[in-house]
Amino acid sequence: MNLVISIVIAAFGLASVAQTTPAATPNPYVDGPSIYTQRCAACHGDQGQGSGGVPQLSGNGAVTANNPNQVIAIVKHGRGAMPAFDSQLSDVEIASVLTYIRTAWGNAGTSIAAYQVDAVR
């Protein structure tokens, strides 16, 4: 049976279609939490509560501000003890994690797109 299926796939050229399927675009609601857990939670806490002088992210007005440029700049370039992530994460990944942070734990911020991250120098 598998041989028949392989012959049919080869005959109709379907094998090349399967090999050229583009990679999935990162989903901020899937990738954001994962990036946060890997890169941010150790300092900011698993619920964004902060501790020991590290700012809390939950309920933080700077995190959920209508204009996200300040929080984007902090993540990209760092500030104080906060490391810069612009060389470690792509614009899509930064947008994903910030979208998660701005909408998690009761935060009412809006999502951030990669073009917004790119625009902040």
Q: Please check whether residue 104 lies inside any domain of the structure.
A: yes
pLDDT at 14: 46
Query: Residues 101-120: pLDDT tens digits?
Result: 999 999 999 999 999 999 99
Residue 70 has pLDDT above 50, yes or no: yes
In a domain, 2, yes or no: no
- Mean pLDDT to the nearest integer, 45-73: 96
Report yes or no on 55 lying in a domain.
yes
CATH number at residue 74: 1.10.760.10
Q: Express each pLDDT in 3-49 by its tens digit.
A: 444 443 444 444 444 444 555 555 655 699 999 999 999 999 999 99
How much is the average pLDDT of 78-97? 95
Q: The domain containing residue 105 runs over which residues?
A: 26-119
Q: How many domains does the chain have?
A: 1
- Residue 61 placed within a domain: yes
Integer Rg of the chain from CA: 20
Three-state secondary structure string covering the chain: CHHHHHHHHHHHCHHHHHHCCCCCCCCHHHHHHHHHHHHCHHHHCCCCCCECCECCCCCCHHHHCCCCHHHHHHHHHCECCECCCCCCCCHHHHHHHHHHHHHCCCCCCCCCCHHHHHHCC
Percent of the chain with pLDDT over 70: 75
62 located within any domain = yes
Does residue 18 sit within a domain?
Answer: no
